[in-house]
Structure 1
Amino acid sequence: MASVMLAACGNDSGSAGNSGPREFKLWYYEGPDSAMGKAWAAAVKEFQSSHPNVTVKFEEKGFEQIQKTAQMILNSNDAPDLMEYNKGNATTGLLSKQGLLTDLTDEVTKRGWDKQLSPNLQTTAKYDQRGVMGGDRWFGVPNYAEYVLVFYNKDLFAKNNVKVPTTMDELTAALDTFKKAGVAPLSVGGAEYPAHQVLYELALSKANRDWVDRYQRYTGKVDFHDSVWSYAANTFVDWVNKGYIDKQSTSIKAEDMGLAFIAGKFPMMISGTWWFGRLQSQIKNFQWGAFLWPAKMSAGSSGNIWVVPKGSKNKDLAYDFINITMQQQNQAVLGNSGGVPVAADPAAVTDPPTKTLIEDFNTLVKRDGLAFYPDWPAPGYYDVLVSATQKLISGSASPDQFLDEIAKPYQENAANLGG
């Protein structure tokens, strides 16, 4: 954890009539080289210039750190005034149900943030009384979007005469070509989220909107041994057996997966747009690109969201900071740094690779292809998926055993919700 104190200067705005010295406590887990990290650092500077009596106490947390401790922290006196948090039933939904987050509905309407966000991006910001996303009350605000895609090493593709795949058959053929050439095809992290996102992508290659809504939003019964889940689990194991996914990846974390791709060791990495800005700034020794997962649907949604803890002592300052991140100037910084802004002027995004990234996102949106993330439906489901997927990689669980393992906690949660 890195902590830095930032002294503010300039004109005060939105301080609820308090002209004395104040401290604004901000948490987020985006790295300084990421698009969001760059945009939010710029937002801090703008916030400083408009709030002269405020000291910003910024603390950079790790994703896993907030994932595991948020409930405890927000139930204590150490809660920040504003923090980035993962969206979905298992995280923001659970905390909203427990009364640990501020209902932002009135503020969203007042500030006009609802007018800046398309309906499909609002889904992950709004929750019902059960804590299920897509409800009628706002408990968070996203200022960027994200989706899972395939990053690829153009040099390794050219060297092995591999073309960018546009179908699942072509993707499989590409994996096979690399493996036969003695090149490990995929950089995968089995110790954290990346591996089970790959498995979910395989499921989505056979899924439709009804399947996604039943799984994510409890709109109907979910059969974990249906043709979609069975295809995903069996194909994932097939990829392991064929060496497309290394069995040693069970102990690889997301950071190490990314570093291996950045070092040019793998031709492909299936992960999210949150890597894009970092790859732009850190890859120096080869040409790289990205392409959409070759199916109609892919994991994706709004980005992580700003939430205001119920115990925040400076909610007005939190709202002011959110508002800055939603303004076109900051949205342009995010876009030109490799992010997917939600409210930018398209003409203000001038970086060609980022323009393509945004165009691909718009393609997903137009074909109703955003399918959220696999760990969202139930509290604690992230750890369940990590552990179960590791067993698939190591061979200590069969596809049917894997599906049984992920079905049990999901169905228990569905029963608790009355689903």
Structure 2
Amino acid sequence: MVRFRGAAVLAAAVLVLSACGSGSETPAPASSSQPRVLKLWHYESADSAMGKAWDEAIKKFEASHPNVKVQFEAKGFEQIQKTASMVLNSDEAPDIMEYNKGNATAGLLSKQGLLTDLTEEAAKRGWDKLLPGGLQTTAKYDDRGVMGNGKWYGVPNYGEFVMVYYNKDLFAKHKVEVPTTFEEFTAALDTFVKAGVTPIANAGAEYPAQQILYQLALTKAQKPWLSAFQSYQGKVDFHGPEFTYGAQTFADWVKKGYIAKNSSGLKAEDMGVAFMNGKFPMMISGSWWFGRVASTIKDFEWGHFLFPGATLSPGSSGNLWIVPEKSENKDLAYDFIDITMSKDIQNLLGNSGGLPVAADPAAITDARSKELIETFNKLTSTDGLAFYPDWPAPGYYDVLVAGVQNLINGSKTPEQVLDEIAGPYEDNLADIGN
């Protein structure tokens, strides 16, 4: 599997962008006097870094394409996750859409023939130069739908990783220092529990809980295990030390009160709002929250740190712009992708709390954003991005949601949950011939 190469990758991307620009925004010839329509779907909230950047990209697109109207529809992550195959195989497919990267999502759609091959366009417009090395991992899929090699079926234009957001005021109130080791981290969790405070905001009905379990497993994982799990380069023992530790420790955290038992049915939005309202000292989640957290929190000081005791963290290049095979305006979709890769949009993304892949470092003036980018570079410089737990198999997201809900509810043991998540993984390996 191709790996990220940290700050050097971002720097290289910046140099390429500075050298060649992103000047392929050639308006498509109109076949009639009637305005054309570009149907665009994405699921970023309006106050997130990506939401702000894509909104500006729409304005720039319409300004450079006077005979085109962008018809934008906001969709939910879960909505697209569950209906993508059906929608993209119908006449309701948009012209361009944000979609989750990985074998179980973009890889599956590419294998089903639902996505446009962007390989030629990537070379023509220089996207392959702006996204060198590991940043291309989630853009390419082979005939089996496995990421890292093959044809381009999507274009990422930002990075992301999971970290620990923390409420500095609550830390100070309870005399808790930012932990640098896993032992210090659990000691901090104990301090909050003893004070009657549930330390970690959580959401069991969507992605956050499974990412916590995965992060715990990663504290015991090495690169060969990661390659085996994500890229099928070896055998994964679901009752080995990695997943056993992750599931058992997650269950223990619930019993100890680190994670609330009523979080089983909560969604990511519930978790994020609760943290931003100051109800929890910590939230373990992704950089996609960063811009919103920065613009929303007014009543307390906050910060972030990497998960203590781990050299690997969930993360990757960001979600993909994909062009459905049924898109009626592929040329316009390519132009829009080009604009999102432009220096202006990338700089806006960086100054809004996002992780741009092709920004000018000198143009990132926001102090919090600089700190976020420095943390990301620290993680990627050690090749520490471990992708996400739901990527390896189609439908695995729902399998993991059910698994962590059972752990939160205490309705199944860690061993039973590991058996349940092993089955679909092994079935997928059989399906793709591994």
TM-score of the pair, normalised by structure 1? 0.96
Q: 1:7 maps to what in 2?
A: none
Residue 220 of structure 1 deviates from its aligned partner by 1.2
Q: 1:410 maps to what in 2?
A: 425
Q: 1:156 maps to what in 2?
A: 170
Instruction: Tell me if the contact between 1:191 and 1:253 (Cα under 8 Å) persists in the aligned partners.
Output: yes
What is the identity, as a one-letter code, of the residue corresponding to 1:72?
A: M
- From 229, 254, 263, the counterpart of 1:215: 229
Query: Is residue 15 of structure 1 aligned with residue 25 of structure 2?
Result: no
Q: 1:301 maps to what in 2?
A: 316
Query: Is residue 25 of structure 1 aligned with residue 39 of structure 2?
Result: yes
What is the identity, as a one-letter code, of the residue corresponding to 2:221?
A: A
Q: 1:398 maps to what in 2?
A: 413
- From 72, 85, 90, the counterpart of 1:76: 90
Q: 1:129 maps to what in 2?
A: 143
Residue 118 of structure 1 deviates from its aligned partner by 3.4
Instruction: Tell me if the contact between 2:221 and 2:242 (Cα under 8 Å) persists in the aligned partners.
Output: yes
What is the identity, as a one-letter code, of the residue corresponding to 2:27?
A: G
Q: 2:6 maps to what in 1?
A: none
Q: 2:383 maps to what in 1?
A: 368
- Specify every segment of 5 or more residues in structure 1 that has no aligned partner in the other structure, as ranges: 1-11
Matched residue of 1:124: which SS?
Answer: coil
Q: How far apart in 2 are the matches of 1:118 and 1:206?
A: 30
What is the identity, as a one-letter code, of the residue corresponding to 2:152?
A: W
Matched residue of 2:236: which SS?
Answer: coil
What is the identity, as a one-letter code, of the residue corresponding to 1:398?
A: T
Q: How far apart in 1 are the matches of 2:47 and 2:102?
A: 25
Residue 292 of structure 1 deviates from its aligned partner by 1.0
- From 269, 274, 282, the counterpart of 2:288: 274
What is the identity, as a one-letter code, of the residue corresponding to 1:381?
A: Y
Q: How far apart in 2 are the matches of 1:124 and 1:91?
A: 11
Instruction: Tell me if the contact between 1:29 and 1:84 (Cα under 8 Å) persists in the aligned partners.
Output: yes
Matched residue of 2:321: which SS?
Answer: strand
Q: How far apart in 2 are the matches of 1:72 and 1:171?
A: 44
- From 93, 98, 104, the counterpart of 1:90: 104
- From 335, 338, 345, the counterpart of 2:350: 335
Residue 19 of structure 1 deviates from its aligned partner by 5.7
Q: How far apart in 2 are the matches of 1:375 and 1:389?
A: 12
Query: Is residue 389 of structure 1 aligned with residue 404 of structure 2?
Result: yes
Q: How far apart in 2 are the matches of 1:277 and 1:60?
A: 18
Q: 1:201 maps to what in 2?
A: 215
Residue 76 of structure 1 deviates from its aligned partner by 0.4
List aligned pairs for 1:94-109, cutoff 5 A: 94-109=108-123
Q: 2:53 maps to what in 1?
A: 39
Instruction: Tell me if the contact between 1:38 and 1:337 (Cα under 8 Å) persists in the aligned partners.
Output: yes
Q: How far apart in 2 are the matches of 1:134 and 1:363?
A: 23
Q: How far apart in 1 are the matches of 2:187 and 2:132?
A: 37
Matched residue of 1:114: which SS?
Answer: helix
- From 310, 313, 330, the counterpart of 2:328: 313
Residue 135 of structure 1 deviates from its aligned partner by 1.5
Q: 2:373 maps to what in 1?
A: 358
What is the identity, as a one-letter code, of the residue corresponding to 1:102?
A: T
Deviation per CA, 1:250-306, whole angstroms, max 9, x where unpaired? 011100000100110000000000100001111111000111112111000011110
Aligned length: 408
List aligned pairs for 1:251-290, cutoff 5 A: 251-290=265-304
Q: How far apart in 2 are the matches of 1:16 and 1:201?
A: 49
Residue 16 of structure 1 deviates from its aligned partner by 4.5
TM-score of the pair, normalised by structure 2? 0.93
What is the identity, as a one-letter code, of the residue corresponding to 1:56?
A: V
Q: How far apart in 1 are the matches of 2:313 and 2:32?
A: 48
Q: How far apart in 2 are the matches of 1:67 and 1:278?
A: 22
Instruction: Tell me if the contact between 2:167 and 2:301 (Cα under 8 Å) persists in the aligned partners.
Output: yes
Query: Is residue 64 of structure 1 aligned with residue 78 of structure 2?
Result: yes
What is the identity, as a one-letter code, of the residue corresponding to 1:386?
A: V
- Specify every segment of 5 or more residues in structure 2 that has no aligned partner in the other structure, as ranges: 1-24
Matched residue of 1:297: which SS?
Answer: coil
List aligned pairs for 1:223-234, cutoff 5 A: 223-234=237-248
Q: How far apart in 1 are the matches of 2:222 and 2:28?
A: 47
Instruction: Tell me if the contact between 2:30 and 2:36 (Cα under 8 Å) persists in the aligned partners.
Output: no
Residue 380 of structure 1 deviates from its aligned partner by 0.4
Q: How far apart in 2 are the matches of 1:208 and 1:340?
A: 26
Matched residue of 2:284: which SS?
Answer: strand
List aligned pairs for 1:232-247, cutoff 5 A: 232-247=246-261
Q: How far apart in 1 are the matches of 2:145 and 2:328?
A: 24
Give every structure 1 segment of 4 or more consecutive aligned residues whose post-TM-superposition deviation is greater than 3 Å: 16-20
- From 167, 171, 174, the counterpart of 2:188: 174
Residue 328 of structure 1 deviates from its aligned partner by 0.9
Instruction: Tell me if the contact between 1:19 and 1:53 (Cα under 8 Å) persists in the aligned partners.
Output: no
Matched residue of 1:397: which SS?
Answer: coil
Matched residue of 1:146: which SS?
Answer: strand
